[in-house]
Structure 1
């Protein structure tokens, strides 16, 4: 080859090399200008991968790598680092606890983790270097020898937590779903899917159907809870719905509320029944809560107190209602306002602590019985009852009783009435004067008569007659009473098993025997 040929070959080589160098320089300049950088190797490949290794001597931590110390710091155990390690190893390597107890015989133990999935499965290696000195190594088998940099502990925790959350949402009885701004369902849990499948005979697809209509607020709940119904094959189910906004999506939680709906319906029906019952009562009823505001009243309260309906529907306090009654002259006339307020305060406190009854004699001649009763949760109820007729009847009865007693005291005969049990039901003043200190029972009275009267057939016949002895009994007779006076007695049967005994002095004209042969004293002695 000539010198000219060799020069041409060298020129071609140099030209090609210069072209490659120039192209590479231009490419790097363009990457830097356009903001693109050459991919860098992972940090784990640029430096050595730090393993998770712990050294224990007699269960005391001697040394540990930074990842291992970070693992121990995640747990708290007062017994020390060994207890912290066992707290983490126990649920993940079930057979490791027993193996650690026999490490002195085996010298080495290796186990693959039972929890986690995929790359979250871990391997535990325990080696006895010297007596009492253990080296514990925790590694990721899939990351070993592959240059993969991953925090296996964090990945395992995330996978375990993700699995727990999925299982919890699928097993919960409440409906959970996510919807976008157009209220399209973009995700749902298993309970929602089961409900959706039960609503249609055909397989469901995406987007999922909306099961619940726009929820409405729960009346009187005071919360943001909204209630919605779901009709499935004629059966209506109720749910309390809660929403949580996350960006443009909304998470919805529907808790079963069938029991609450049934309880509320029963409560409404019960209140309606009570309201109808209270409306027919002739007794005025007013129930006050623990703040002493009127919560419930019946029409009889308006009829008895003449309180305006508008005033009662405005839920006045107890003292406002009592002040209004005072203005209407429907309370006893007080001596002064201070004593009136004290009296009403005593009424309120007595009703709140126990059963309390008062009788109000009104200026118009009416008489009301006011009863206060405590109710649960500090409430108190007042009952207003018109007892004017009852008081009039009681006064009339007492007047008639006083008249009857006055008549008995002035008939001139000693009269005593024994009840069915032998107790004295009534006795006039003449009887008390004739037999002073006589007991109030039949046996004691007979003993008193026998001790103060002379014995004889007449007294025996009286005792037999009152004692109910068998045989022919006389209803009257004579005895020699206190002071030797001759007394005639008569026993009369009254209704309801009562017996009336009368003692009387015989007429002077009949002091002799009808035959005229012997005095009555001798006859009585017979």
Structure 2
């Protein structure tokens, strides 16, 4: 019986201890919950700016704090959004806040000293309060209309930066990104290796390459996408106080066009390298854009000079100094001639033969090209000119020989056009020298002969003889001039279908003798 009482007493004791433990645990849980609820309640004034974070999730915020967060960039977690707003004034916030759980309380002052962040660790939550140290000294003189105008302007600027199709972002002096538009954030998130977007976004470009750039000067920077393809951007940098504003526009099409143009230029260069005609193409700014090896051979200009892309005037100056163009009378007139040369080349009407001091002769042609460019062609025609001079000399010699003959001679082509006549011919038929060598048909010539001679069928027979094809034989004829002189005619076939006609008038003393009773034109078609 005593054992049962002892067991009962022990059971009552254990039960009492369990109930006491449960009561104490409940009281502790209720006290912690009450304290946490008190913490979450944020019993602060409406004008206070207070945020409560559970890790990176916002669990509560005052009205003023929510207004600030509504203007944040929509990227990543609540903490990333807040960081995008505060990082400009508190650049060390991200590093300093990492020690809050250990230190319990941290005060962070803004870099301009105008604000301070009070950060406290309470019951596993981070309480962040923002205080303006100069708020008591700022006059609030703005009326509601001024505030509304500022809000409208802010909304316009925000909408503009969010919808522009190029990248816009700001960086602090240490390279930390303090603001970026939607285009930049979207690209950074797409190229980021992290699954969840965070703030600040990754730096896409090495902006230190622009540190030595002039104001408003851009640099072309490359960027590889997730597939390893390279994309190109023209990036501009602007100094704004203690930070920098950057803009980047995609120029893949421009780079592709430049590569295509470069390949096309290389193809043209390889093609033109085999030409014997010198080629020099000047762009719209009149700088040498393309030349071939024949140009250096013809002008003796060194390739080192041409590679520097000289201007058109410098190029012509160098030609003049090298005596590779005709020497002008004076420099002023030469400059005027070069200006006229450029204008004529733009119109495609410039073509000139340069006779150089060394006996060389060049033909220079100017031709317009697209986009305001012009091209000059340098062609060595020394051999052609020498051959032309020799032909001209031979022709002049032949003409002099014909002019020395007393027989009046004329040569007609296969189509009946007068191609040559001597002085005796023009004198016999009383023609001007230029008229005798002008474009004269066989009909015009026989008409002149007919008016100065007695009627005869010889001229009709001669026209048929000139137009006859196949083998032809020399023949003779005779008629009489109106002054009474007898005119002996001979008609001789020449190579290439040409025909020579010769006239030999007899002296007047012989012409006054009694005429023979033989026919004057029966001797036609006598073969020699």
Task: Report the TM-score range of the alignment, normalised by the length of the smaller protein.
Answer: 0.5 to 0.7
Residue 486 of structure 2 aligns with which residue?
A: 485
Out of 394, 397, 406, the position equivalent to 1:403 is: 397
1:18-68 C-alpha deviation (Å, 9 max, x unpaired): xxxxxxxxxxxxxxxxxxxxx9xxxxxxxxxxxxxxxxxxxxxxxxxxxxx
**Partner Cα separation in structure 2 for residue 247 and residue 350 of structure 1:** 53
State the partner residue of 1:171.
Answer: 163
In structure 2, relative to structure 1, the CA distance for the partners of 1:323 and 1:279 (3 Å cut) is same
Q: 1:436 aligns with which of 427, 430, 452?
A: 430
Shift of 1:273: 4.5
On the 8 A contact 1:422/1:441 being kept in 2, the answer is: yes
Structure 1 gaps, min length 5: 1-38, 40-148, 512-516
- Residue number in structure 2 paired with 1:453: 453
Aligned position for 1:231: 224
Q: 197, 203, 206: which is aligned to 2:198?
A: 206
Instruction: Deviation per CA, 1:301-341: give whole Å up to 9, x if none.
Output: 5434445566666777878777766766556578xxxx443
Aligned pairs for 1:259-338 within 5 A = 259-273=253-267, 275-276=269-270, 279-284=273-278, 299-307=293-301, 330=324
Deviations, residues 122-154 of structure 1 (Å, cap 9, x unaligned): xxxxxxxxxxxxxxxxxxxxxxxxxxx983323
Match of 1:390 among 362, 380, 384: 384
Residue 522 of structure 2 aligns to a residue whose secondary structure is helix
By how many angstroms is 1:214 displaced?
Answer: 0.5
The SS at the match of 2:224 is: strand
Distance 1:185 1:399 in 2: 84
The aligned runs of 1:24-43 (5 Å cut-off) are none
Q: Is contact 2:476–2:524 with CA below 8 Å preserved after alignment?
A: no
Unaligned runs of 5+ in 2: 1-44, 46-140, 511-515
Contact 1:368–1:388 (8 Å) recurs in 2: yes
SS at match of 1:415: strand
Distance 2:214 2:468 in 1: 75
Q: SS in structure 1 opposite 2:489?
A: strand
Q: 2:335 aligns with which of 330, 336, 345?
A: 345
- Change over 3 Å in CA distance of 1:155–1:280 after alignment to 2: same
3-state SS of paired residue (1:254): strand
* Distance verdict in 2 for CA 1:238–1:204, change over 3 Å: farther
Matches within 5 A, 1:185-204: 185-199=177-191, 203-204=195-196
Q: CA deviation at 1:236?
A: 3.3
Distance 1:344 1:481, change over 3 A: same
> 1:30-109, aligned counterparts within 5 Å?
none
| TM-score where L is the length of structure 1 | 0.54
CA drift at 1:398: 0.9
User: Is residue 284–residue 304 contact of structure 1 (8 Å, CA) maintained in 2?
Assistant: yes
Structure 1 residue corresponding to 2:151, chosen from 139, 149, 159: 159
SS of the residue aligned with 1:156? helix
CA-based RMSD of the aligned residues comes to 4.9
Q: Name which of 414, 418, 424 aligns with 2:412.
A: 418
Contact 2:408 2:504 in 1 (8 A): no
CA contact (8 A) 1:228 1:240 kept: yes
Q: Deviation of residue 201 (structure 1)? A: 8.1
Post-superposition shift, 1:173? 0.8
Cα displacement string for residues 216-272 of structure 1 (whole angstroms, at most 9, x for unaligned residues): 459999943122233333443322223345555544322222233234334444544
Following the alignment from structure 2 to structure 1, what is the Cα–Cα distance between the partners of residues 218 and 487?
A: 96
Give the 3 Å change call, closer, same or farther, for CA 226–307 of structure 1 in structure 2. closer
Query: Match for residue 103 of structure 2?
Result: none
Shifted more, 353-362 versus 478-487: the winner is 353-362
Question: How far is the alpha carbon of 1:389 from its aligned partner?
Answer: 1.7
Further displaced range: 398-407 or 289-298: 289-298
* 8 Å Cα contact 2:223/2:231 also seen in 1: yes
Quote the residue 1:64 is aligned against. none
Indicate if the aligned counterparts of 2:172 and 2:243 stay in contact, CA closer than 8 A.
yes
The corresponding residue for 1:118 is none
Could you tell me which residue of structure 1 aligns to residue 246 of structure 2? Answer: 252
* Cα-to-partner distance string for 1:375-395 (whole Å, 9 max, x where unaligned): 899988765543322221111
Map of 1:59 onto structure 2: none
**Distance in 2 between the 1:394 and 1:220 partners?**
61
Distance across 2 between alignment mates of 1:493 and 1:523: 23
1:480 Cα shift?
Answer: 0.7
